[in-house]
């Protein structure tokens, strides 16, 4: 989710100046395991999970912006309670912020992601979670998302983590996905995207990113799959076919059902719950974020998948 300059300018009154952001350079790729903070125009850390046994889904995101030397920080937490058919969304911009590595520490106010050896703890409002990676961190080929027209973001992930803990006071367990991205992709008027993070029954994990410019043209369709041993490979000859759209109460339309196709797989992806639109008052972006299921084939094998998807509609105003 990209932040609009108006959100960043609010930070002028709240924050001291920072050094100018370092320009994006696609020739200098980071180490896959270095999740530490960068001096970039936009950076975020993101943990999400669909926990079907607990009838829950969640995402936490911490944003760090350097807009022409002006820092701005905001964080989001959304919880979907599938048992009670509710969605709660909380944002914060206040409180002291700390970003450090190693070990990784990402904190704003009382919300904190903290690395402890090979695992993490996430304490953010309704989330009190322990996260244990089941695969190593990867850099998604070619190492970044986006284009020079839309802005580009380095992109690394831990695509499968065991989750235990508490969500909204209820015991929670399942699997999560952890992203870290940074680069020069800023205003949401010039870029939107559709994103999928899926964990498959055969042990593979699949990431698909469909980036659109201000005219709505698809300028990048990228994907990678991470095998059961944790090796990331580029998805070639990828197709993402929109199937069924849903109109939110805000009037915005989101495609929620898709076919994802490549030489390795053919999957149909559907939402678990449609009413997942989030209207951010801190990033001024409208987007759909929620749990999804998929079924289809991987080679000759029938597979199922679960995970999260994010579809960005554009600016709030």
Q: Of 50-59, 64-73, 201-210, where does mean pLDDT reach its minimum?
A: 64-73
Query: Does residue 31 fall inside a structural domain?
Result: no
Residue 17's pLDDT is what? 67
∠ CA 241-244-250, nearest 5°, is 120
Is the pLDDT at 206 greater than 90, yes or no? yes
**The whole model's pTM is what?**
0.94
Q: Is residue 128 part of a domain?
A: yes
Residue 33 forms part of a structural domain = no
Residue with the bigger pLDDT between 187 and 36: it is 36
Could you list the residue range(s) of the whole structural domain that residue 263 is in? 5-18+38-315
Is 26 inside any structural domain? no
- Residue 137's nearest CA partner among 93, 103, 178 is 178
Q: Give residue-wise pLDDT tens across range 131-145.
A: 999 999 999 999 999
pLDDT of residue 171: 98
272 SS3 class: coil
Residue 232: give its domain's CATH number: 2.40.370.10
Of 256, 287, 296, 252, nearest to 272 by C-alpha is 256
- According to the model, what pLDDT value does residue 69 have? 87
132 within a domain of the structure (yes/no): yes
Q: Cα separation of 1 and 8, whole Å?
A: 14
- Give 89's pLDDT tier (boundaries 50, 70, 90): very high
Distance CA 167, CA 126 (A): 5
3 state SS of 53: helix
> Nearest CA to 256 among 278, 289, 209, 297?
289
Buried b (16+ CB within 10 A) or exposed e, 185-224: bbbbebbbbbbbbbbbeeebbbbbbbbbbeeeeeebebbb
- Whole-number Å distance between alpha carbons of 112 and 104: 10
Cα-based distances in Å from 257 to 20, 47, 115, 267: 41, 23, 35, 11
pLDDT at 4 (0 to 100): 41
Mean predicted confidence (pLDDT) in 276-299: 97
Phi then psi for residue 282, to 5 deg, are -105, -35
* Res. 11: pLDDT tops 80: no
Residue 30 lies in a domain: no
Q: Which of 37, 121, 163, 59 is nearest to 112 (CA)?
A: 121
Considering the domain boundaries, does residue 242 fall inside one? yes
Summarize the confidence of residues 26-44 as an average pLDDT: 96
Number of domains comprising the chain? 1
């Amino acid at each position: 989710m990209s932040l609009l300059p108006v959100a960043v300018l609010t930070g002028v009154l709240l924050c001291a100046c920072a050094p100018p952001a370092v320009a994006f350079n696609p020739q200098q790729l980071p180490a896959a395991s270095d999740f530490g903070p960068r001096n970039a125009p936009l950076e975020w850390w993101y943990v999400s999970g669909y926990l079907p046994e607990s009838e829950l889904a969640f995402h936490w995101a911490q944003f760090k912006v350097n807009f022409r030397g002006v820092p701005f920080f905001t964080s989001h937490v959304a919880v979907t309670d599938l048992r009670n058919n509710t969605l709660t969304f909380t944002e914060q911009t206040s409180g002291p912020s700390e970003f450090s590595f190693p070990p990784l520490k990402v904190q704003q106010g009382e919300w904190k992601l903290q690395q402890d050896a090979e695992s993490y703890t996430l304490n953010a409002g309704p989330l009190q979670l322990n996260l244990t990676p089941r695969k190593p961190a990867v850099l998604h080929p070619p190492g970044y998302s986006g284009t020079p027209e839309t802005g580009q973001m380095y992109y690394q992930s831990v695509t499968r983590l065991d989750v235990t803990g508490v969500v909204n006071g209820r015991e929670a367990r399942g699997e999560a996905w952890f992203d870290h991205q940074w680069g020069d992709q800023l205003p949401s008027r010039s870029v939107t995207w559709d994103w999928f993070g899926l964990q498959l029954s055969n042990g593979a994990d699949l990431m698909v990113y469909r980036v659109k410019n201000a005219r709505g043209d698809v300028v990048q369709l990228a994907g990678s799959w991470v095998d059961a041993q944790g090796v990331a490979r580029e998805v070639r000859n990828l197709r993402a076919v929109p199937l069924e759209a849903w109109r939110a109460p805000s009037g915005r339309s989101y495609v929620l059902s898709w076919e994802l196709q490549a030489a390795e797989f053919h999957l149909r992806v559907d939402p678990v719950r449609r009413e997942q639109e989030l209207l951010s008052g801190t990033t001024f972006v409208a987007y759909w974020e929620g749990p999804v299921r998929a079924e289809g084939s991987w080679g000759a094998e029938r597979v199922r998948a679960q995970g999260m998807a994010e579809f960005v509609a554009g600016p709030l105003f």
